[in-house]
Amino acid sequence: MLDRRLTMRLSADTLPRPADMSNYRNGAVLYVKSYLLIRTVVGIIGIALPIILMFGEASLKGSVHARGSLSAYYHSPMQDAFVGSLCVVGFLLLTYMAGQPRTVDFWFSNLAGVAVLGVVFLPTSRPDIPTGAPLCGPHTLPEPPSCSPVESTLGEMPTARAHAVCAAIFILSLAVICCAFAYREHKLGPHGFWWKFHAVCAGLIVLAVGWVFLGDALKYDIVGLKSLYVGEVVSVWSFGASWFAKGDGLRTLLLRPIPSQTPGADADIDPQVKHAEVR
């Protein structure tokens, strides 16, 4: 449990950006650009992952087919893409706010980072297990094919339940961060577009999680797509779009070259950097 005093000091604000983000002689600008690039990369992975998984498997099997969930791609030829992408996202989430431990972003990005690594290393159950078929577990001999070491040690269903908890924590933590994005954009311009954009992304994530439970209870599919798959894709795309936009998207990717510095060029950097906005 967090110390109450620390909890009271948590803020939805982060450090302000330098007033002149075009001044590439200012070291603070370069650090902010690196920070924004991490957000952009996380957003790109979130947007691209469902597409890569579906069409990557289609390129190997010759037909486009969505699985019951994104997590089910762990048990597919796209396992490496699934594991690698989520591991990258997890470690970026764990590190990108390391210097601001008293912010909402820090705590929830760390929570999301740990949770998404749990999604990876505590896999969901194998899809399409026939009724009565043996499950992975320490006492199952011979062991079924494609069991992970964790499933073999803990059992297939306990691992799958832990996976579901981690997935829910990951997605809801990202919704909180999207709300923090919306809050800061609203402070900059209450009548602007971007705070509404991030708020909609957060709302879509929450609605998608609700749809997973409702669709499963009603046994309702959308054009043949399972409710879990639809909910996961909407959540991942929503958080990806929010993070991509908050990272300044393509503007962050197209970094201007750093001007060559001559001896004494550091003197151009004002140690008392003036800040313009909190983002």
pLDDT at 279: 61
Query: Tens-of-pLDDT digits for all 279 residues of the chain?
Result: 444 444 446 676 676 777 777 777 777 777 778 888 888 999 999 999 999 999 999 888 777 788 889 999 999 889 999 999 999 999 999 988 887 888 888 899 999 999 999 999 999 998 877 777 788 888 777 878 778 889 888 988 999 999 999 999 999 999 999 999 999 888 887 888 889 999 999 999 999 999 998 988 888 888 888 899 999 999 999 999 999 998 876 665 555 544 444 343 333 334 444 444 556
Tokens of 79: 């396992």
How far apart CA 189 and CA 65 sit, in angstroms, is 43
Bridge pairing between strands 16-18 and 275-278:
antiparallel
| Closest by CA position to 104, among listed 182, 19, 29 | 182
**Distance between CA atoms of residues 146 and 273, nearest Å:** 56
Residue 16 bridge partners (DSSP): 278
Residue 43: C-alpha distances to residues 9, 108, 152 (Å) = 28, 16, 34
**pLDDT at 34 (0 to 100):** 80
Q: Position of tokens 């989520």?
A: 86
Distance set, CA 272 to CA 19, 99, 191, 268, 269 (Å): 12, 19, 31, 12, 9
| pLDDT value at residue 65 | 82
The pLDDT score that the predictor gives to residue 252 is 57
- Please give the pLDDT value at position 272: 43
Three-class secondary structure assignment of the chain = CCCHHHHHHCECCCCEEECCCCCCCCHHHHHHHHHHHHHHHHHHHHHHHHHHHHHHHHHHHCCCCCCCCCHHHHHCCCHHHHHHHHHHHHHHHHHCCCCCCCEHHHHHHHHHHHHHHHHHHCCCCCCCCCCCCCCCCCCCCCCCCCCCHHHHHHCHHHHHHHHHHHHHHHHHHHHHHHHHHHHHHHHHCCCCCHHHHHHHHHHHHHHHHHHHHHHHHHCCCECCECHHHHHHHHHHHHHHHHHHHHCCHHHHHCCCCCCCCCCCHHHHCCCCCCEEEEC
- Phi, then psi, of 176 in degrees rounded to 5: -65, -45
The answer to whether 195 touches 185, Cβ cutoff 8 Å, is: yes
Amino acid 258: pLDDT: 45
pLDDT at 15: 64
